[in-house]
Amino acid sequence: MAERGPLDGRVAIVTGAGRGIGRGEAIALATAGAKVVVNDVGVRADGHGAAEGPADEVVEFIRAQGGHAVASYESVADWEGATRVVDTAVEQFGRLDILVNNAGIVRQHKIEDVTEEDFELTIDVNLKGTFAMCRSAIPVLRQYGGGRIVNTCSNQWAAPIGNPEYAASKGGVVSLTYELAWELNTDGITVNAIAPFALTRMTEDAKQRDAALVASGAMSERRLKAKEARADAGMVAPIVVYLASDAAADVTGCVFRAGGGKIGIYSHPVETRTIFRDEQNGPWSYDELVDLLPRTVLATGSKAPHIL
C-alpha cells in the first residue's frame, strides 16, 4: 500500500466487501491510504447462508500489502447490526470518514413469481441496509467534521430487465441518495451513488445470456472475451476512491454509471414539459387532456426511454 495517498488517515467502511465489487472497493480504498472495515456477512448472492471467510480473506490481503483492515460480519439489514459496524470503525481506528454501501442481493423473477419472502429479504438488504448504515454513520461523520457516503444502486433502476423487487430496492437507494445529499449539504457530508457493472456472482444471468449468444452465433468468442475483460469488478473502484477524496468535496447528489472503463452520470429527474390551468377553472376534463397531452406534455414520446 502507498505510504501517502489521497485517503491517508481516513477510515472507511465498505459493506458487502468480501467478494466482487465490494472487495475491489475495499482494496482500492486501502491502497489509497484508508483504514478499512471490511463488512460482509458471507451470504450467497440470493441472501441465504453466512460465512466469515470472505471478509477475513480481504482483510488478510490488505494487511499483506501493508494496509490496515478489520473484519465485520454484521448484517446491515439488522438495525442494531448496522450500528455495530459503525462502532467497529471508531473502536478499531478512532474515527469514521467514509461509508460505502455496497451490500446487496439479487433474485431473478417476473412480478407474479415474487414471493413475500423474496420481496422482504431484497428490500431488507438493499434498501433497509443502506438506510440503516446511513442512519448510524451520519452522526459519527458529523462528529469528525464531515465525510463521504457512496451508495450502490443499479442500472435496473433506470433500465429494468425483469427483477422488480431488486429494481424497487435500488430505486429507493437513488431517492435516498438525493434526499440525503440535500439534507446534509451544510454538514460537510457528500452523498452520491454508483450504478456499477461487472461480472460477479450477482450477474450470473448475464454470463448465461452471453454464452447462449455465442452458442447461437450471435456473438463471437472474441467479442465475449473483450466484454469479460471490460467487466472486471476492480474497474468500478476508481470512481469510489475519487468520490471518497477531497477532490470530490463539491460533488454530491449525483448518480454515476461505472465499470469497464466507463464513467457516466445520470440526469436528475426533472419536469421536461408542463401544462398549467387556472385553479378558478377547476380540474382538467377528460376531453381536454385527450386533446392537450399528446400535443404538449407527451409531444416527445409516451414511453420511458428504455421501452422500445
Helix axes 164-183, 116-123, angle to 10 degrees: 30
Amino acid type, 3: E
Q: What is the pLDDT at residue 43?
A: 62
Q: Is the pLDDT of residue 28 over 80?
A: yes
Domain 11-203+232-265: CATH superfamily, name plus number = NAD(P)-binding Rossmann-like Domain (3.40.50.720)
Q: Is the pLDDT of residue 177 over 70?
A: yes
The model's pTM: 0.87
Name the H helices within 124-163.
129-143, 155-158
What are the backbone angles phi and psi of residue 36, rounded to the nearest 5°? Answer: -125, 130
| Chain CA centroid to CA 128, Å | 13
Active site residue 286: no
Would you say 172 and 125 are in contact if contact means Cβ atoms under 8 Å apart? no
Q: How confident is the model at residue 273 (pLDDT cuts 50, 70, 90)?
A: very high
Q: What is the pLDDT at residue 98?
A: 98
DSSP 72: E
Evaluated on CA atoms 147, 268, 114, 307, the torsion sign reads negative
What does each C-alpha distance from 245 to 98, 149, 259 come to in angstroms? 9, 11, 19
Q: What is the pLDDT at residue 47?
A: 46
Portions of the chain given CATH number 3.40.50.720: 11-203+232-265
Rounded to an integer, what distance in angstroms lies between the CA atom of residue 169 and that of residue 120? 10
- Nearest by Cα to 97 from 276, 234, 243, 255: 243
The C-alpha cell that represents 94 in the structure block: 478512532
Catalytic residue among 73, 144, 166, 242: 166
